[in-house]
Chains A and B, each alone.
Chain A
């Protein structure tokens, strides 16, 4: 009998399982829950995009594409990045089509990080950066962002975290879970700290299309002097409601892409061909879909922020992504306790902020990738819950 403790990789064994699993398992056991937990759009991929994918299957387009992806797709990505964010990448050697944004993040970390290198990761943020850094032999250095700073990364916080071993900074904006964005000015402050260093940047811009209140997303690569050090990760999952297609891409200077390309070539070969055909259609004819979906998210954002504030839960007004990140620290219990009680007592599921980093204590993430009807019903139940716990606490006093 093999002793798996001995044979398996120390690095893999060392990875912490995602803390939220336990909560999601609880959620699965309870019937009739109004969940506001998922990190993916509730829209179905627009029909014209699905239709083009079906057509590609009918036409027998079932081969591997080139490793970097269909050239037409890379050309469309190049045009899109230029027209939306004013950044220029050569489809020949500066773009790789990946299996979702996640593969792009993994490629970039593995192509940049040497053993012992430090990777600065602002938190709360999506859960993959730390574990991928560890698998690459790097050391994650988590730094906190705060409600008082609108959950932005500040130049001071970055400066304080930099050591001679710092190799890479992850910029996860628009942010999951806080909904924070970085404006051009915010990014320029960060650029000042990085200029004249060799620190590289992964800018995870997967929520780039979801910004609100007239604030257009600014790519870190568009900030003067930053293109040479930046790997931009983006994809189709959020913008076009295409999570299941697993379509993303990375763009970077050709020297960086050349290294990522080898890893991608050996590990992945190429992104799914059917999805690539769908992605071409999305980039060519999907601007209106993005506009319509974003307008709908925006209305829900206002509804949910307004609703939470009315209930008496302080809530930072997010400017990006499709999450709100209310402050639930004032109810005399931990985030996890709050979310568990809300789940068991009112059958509403939201994610404790601690799932996204230690500094998430006192907060919770609520996704508004749900219908207005669903959100309205959930808000009513959250209100019942808050009334109940306020009543309990008053009795104790």
Chain B
């Protein structure tokens, strides 16, 4: 199962037939495993990695470090879940170290992001402080190096 998940993680386009032959399983078995993983939430979704810098679309990403006072019995869960509800928010992680939650958000402009931080995040109950870092350039994401050349430079040696 782990091999199938790893292969799918690197290339969601692989068909059950291709996965089956690579993993010494039948196509039916592979379909069943994938269906189970989708069902139980191991496979959370399928998305496409896009380098938006290659398009004209205007966007800004920022990482926001949040210090949060945990709530009785709920810890950080409640506030993290609330933050997740905002469509601008791309990811939310509970962190060890100097701050508590790391939030990655996307907006069209710097102003849109600062508005979001000041008006929506900073004002939430339990948020002690925020620290916003704008992302200037993406070099590698989800294991994929951006702008790496596909050119095959290997010499034709038998």
Contact = CB atoms under 8 A, between A and B. Distances in A.
Contacts of A20: 158
Contacts of A42: 152, 154
Contact of A38 (B18, B21, B24, B155): B155
Contacts of A299: 3, 7, 22-23
Given A302-B21, A372-B11, A27 B158 contact: no
Contact of B21 (A37, A40, A243, A303): A303
A304 to B, nearest CB: 9
Contacts of A303: 18, 21-22
A35 B152 CA distance: 9
A80 interface: no
Contacts of A39: 157-158
Given A303-B18, A303-B22, A38 B157 contact: yes
Interface residues of A, number: 27
Interface string A257-296: 0000000000000000000000000000000000000000
Interface string A352-375: 000110000000000000001100
B3 to A, nearest CB: 8
Contacts of A333: none
Nearest to B154: A38
Residue with the highest number of chain A CB atoms closer than 10 Å, among B11, B14, B154: B154
Contacts of A300: 22
A253 interface: no
B33 to A, nearest CB: 16
A126 B158 contact: yes
Residue with the highest number of chain B CB atoms closer than 10 Å, among A127, A307, A351, A372: A372
B147 interface: no
B11 A40 contact: no
A24 interface: yes
Contacts of B18: 303, 372, 376
A66 interface: no
A306 interface: yes
A20 B155 CA distance: 13
Contacts of B7: 299, 372
Given A299-B7, A372-B11, A372-B14, A38 B22 contact: no
Say whether chain B's binding surface is mostly helix, strand, loop, or mixed.
loop
Contacts of A302: 21-22, 24
A318 to B, nearest CB: 15
B22 A24 contact: no
Residue with the highest number of chain A CB atoms closer than 10 Å, among B23, B155, B157, B158: B158
A126 B157 CA distance: 10
A18 interface: yes
A311 to B, nearest CB: 13
B156 interface: yes
A243 B156 CA distance: 12
Contacts of A355: 158
Given A299-B22, A302-B21, A303-B18, A38 B11 contact: no
A66 B96 CA distance: 51
Contacts of B22: 299-300, 302-303, 372
Given A243-B157, A351-B158, A372-B22, 13 more contacts: A24-B156, A27-B156, A38-B154, A38-B155, A39-B158, A40-B155, A40-B157, A42-B154, A127-B158, A302-B24, A306-B21, A307-B21, A356-B158
Q: Which are the 9 A-B pairs with shortest beta-carbon distances?
A: A306-B21, A299-B22, A24-B156, A38-B154, A39-B158, A303-B22, A302-B21, A302-B22, A39-B157
12 contacts: A27-B156, A38-B154, A38-B155, A38-B157, A126-B158, A299-B22, A307-B21, A351-B158, A355-B158, A372-B22, A373-B13, A376-B18
